[in-house]
Structure 1
Amino acid sequence: MVPNQLIAERADKTLRADVYLPAGEGPFPAVLMIHGGAWAGGSRSNMAGNALFLANNGYAVASISYRFAPSHVFPAQLEDCREGLKWLVEHAEQFHIDTNRIASWGHSAGGHLACLVAATDAEKDPEAPQLKAVVAGAAPCDFTNEPLESRRLSFFLGGSRAEKPGAYVMASPISHVTAKCPPIFFFHGTEDNVVPIEEAQVMHDKLSSLGIPTVFYKSQGRGHIGSLIDPEARREALKFLDGQLKLGGS
């Protein structure tokens, strides 16, 4: 691992990445790894197991940090993840990365951000680095059904849905789904009582209706954290990435 790589300096937080590299000369397909923590905590080290798994299977992985709510409300987290992707592309030569084969992998808040980076960049900015695939675990994908007066997400979105309706739409990956979205692999615990499984199911269904390759893997009997460490979900996600990024060509 190449730890603590500087991505960017923010006013009160330094954004960094830990880079995990596979054996060989490359060029390697790469994965932008985004940790969870309800947008308010967590650490990129929480994703070390998944990052090592991918590196051992031929992928370069950059596990990134980002600013937290409530000190920084949305879209700060999205901006930081985009900065991480830009940094990864800019350092492709250093880490022997094939910039035509970059995906993202996240869990919980990280899964949400991975989907959001993919959907919004495909929607709005054809010149931005484009993710070719996403793996999203336990990802909340639609905030537009949140009760209007609920303050459950105000720490992240700056107020209730009645107060900040635009933020709730903008932060919902499903709101940005178009035929330009990359393929997405969803995995979710059937007993997840933090993020309802239906949150990801509706986005999976919308992608499927547009003909975008998508898989929904259900981690039977597992809860929110349990899906993160489900070895079968991890293996199926790897198969999906291999299929989308044509690993055999590296």
Structure 2
Amino acid sequence: MFRNQVFAEREGTKLMADVYLPSGDGPFPAVLMIHGGAWASGSRSNMAAHALYLANHGYAVAAISYRLAPMHRFPAQLEDCQEALDWLVEHSQEFEIDTARIAGWGHSAGGHLACLVAAMQSAGTPSHPLLKAVVAGAAPCDFTNEPLLSHRLAFFLGGSRAEAPGTYEKASPVAHVTAKCPPIFFFHGTEDNVVPIGQAQVMHEKLTDLGIPSVFYQSQGRGHFGCLIDQDARQEALKFLDQQLKLEGS
């Protein structure tokens, strides 16, 4: 394991990644792992159990930090995730990573950012390496239905939707989905009272309508944080990644 790898420096803040490597010889499929915390808190260490789980199943994992709101508002978080992806590819030989097999994985705000990176790459000419699959837990995917005058997300998006409609749309993964979007595995607690389950379902349905492989796994009886520790969901997510990224016979 390689701890505290600096992948960028922004406004005097060093952004770091912890890289978990599987045993054996590469090149390995890789996962960019993004923590949650409402874009305002949390740490890459929160995802250590998931990172270790994937490393034990043959994946190189980079669990990253990113700039937090309200000091740093959107799109700072998106830019940091994209920068981390660039860095991971630039260091692919060091970590024995197959750059054609990189996925994103995140929970809550991290799930949102993973989906956003993937969806935005499909909506235009990519300027960053491509994610080939995403696993998104309890992810908010659509801010365009936020009440116009609500300031609930102003700390992150810079104002109400009435004040910053373009930002709310840009930050919504579902708004960027095209037929070029990579496959996504969603997992969400049926009792999530933080991020409504319909947030992920609407994006899953849009992907499915476009013929993109997508799975919508419901963690029965679990809430927002409970789905993060749902071992069945994690196992199904791993199966999904294996289908999308593992080479035959590996």
Deviations 1:230-250 (A, max 9, x none): 000000000000000124454
Partner of 2:78: 78
* Contact 2:192 2:224 survives alignment (8 Å): yes
Structure 2 match to 1:194:
194
Report whether the alignment pairs 1:221 with 2:221: yes
Deviation at 1:127, TM superposition (A): 4.5
> How far apart are 1:21 and its partner, in Å?
0.3
Distance in 1 (alpha carbons) for counterparts of 2:195 and 2:168: 16
Matched AA of 1:99? T
Contact kept? 2:69, 2:156, Cα under 8 Å: yes
Aligned ranges for residues 169-208 of structure 1 at < 5 Å? 169-208=169-208
How many angstroms does 1:12 deviate by? Answer: 3.4
**Would you say how many aligned residue pairs link Structure 1 and Structure 2?**
250
Residue 112 of structure 1: aligned partner: 112
Per-residue CA distance 1:58-96 (angstroms, 9 max, x = gap): 000000000000001100000000000000000000000
CA distance in 2 between partners of 1:143 and 1:133 (Å): 22
Task: Determine the structure 2 residue equivalent to 1:128.
Answer: 128
Contact preservation (8 Å) 2:122, 2:179:
no
CA distance in 2, matches of 1:71, 1:14: 15
State TM-score, norm by structure 2: 0.98
1:197-238 per-position Cα deviation (integer Å, ceiling 9, x unaligned): 000000000000000000000000000000001000000000
CA drift at 1:121: 1.6
The answer to whether 1:147 aligns with 2:147 is yes
Percent identity between the two aligned chains: 76
In the alignment, the residues of structure 1 paired with residue 127 and residue 216 of structure 2 have an alpha-carbon distance, to the nearest angstrom, of 29
Moved over 3 A (4+): 247-250
Q: Distance in 2 between matches of 1:114 and 1:247?
A: 23
Q: Within 2, Cα distance between the matches of 1:121 and 1:170? A: 13
Q: Please name the residue that 1:212 is paired with.
A: 212
Cα contact 2:106–2:137 (8 A) shared by 1: yes
Structure 1 distance, partners of 2:14, 2:41, is 15
Q: Please state how far the C-alpha of 1:124 moved relative to its aligned partner.
A: 1.9
Paired position in structure 1 for 2:6: 6
Q: Distance in 2 between matches of 1:216 and 1:195?
A: 15
3-state secondary structure, aligned to 1:69: coil
What amino acid is aligned across from residue 198 of structure 1 in structure 2? Answer: G
Distance 2:34 2:12 in 1: 20
Write the distance in 1 (CA, Å) between the matches of 2:56 and 2:101: 17
- Rate the CA distance shift 1:225–1:247 in 2: closer, same or farther, 3 A: farther
Residue 164 of structure 2 corresponds to 164
Answer yes or no: is the 8 Å Cα contact 2:85–2:128 preserved in 1: no
CA RMSD of aligned residues (A): 0.8
User: TM-score with structure 1 length normalisation?
Assistant: 0.98
Q: Which residue matches 2:100?
A: 100
Deviation at 1:128, TM superposition (A): 2.2
Cα distance in structure 2, aligned partners of 1:179 and 1:204: 13
Unaligned runs of 5+ in 2: none
- Structure 1: how far apart are the matches of 2:225 and 2:175? 26
Which residue type is aligned with residue 245 of structure 1?
Answer: L
One-letter amino acid of the counterpart of residue 63, structure 1: A
Name the structure 1 match of 2:40. Answer: 40
Q: Which residue of 2 aligns with 1:24?
A: 24
Query: Where does the alignment leave 5 or more consecutive residues of structure 1 unmatched?
Result: none
Superposed displacement of residue 13, structure 1 = 1.7
Q: Does the CA-based 8 Å contact 2:35-2:107 persist in structure 1?
A: yes
State the alpha-carbon separation in 2 of the partners of residues 77 and 119 from structure 1. Answer: 15
Letter aligned with residue 209 of structure 1: D
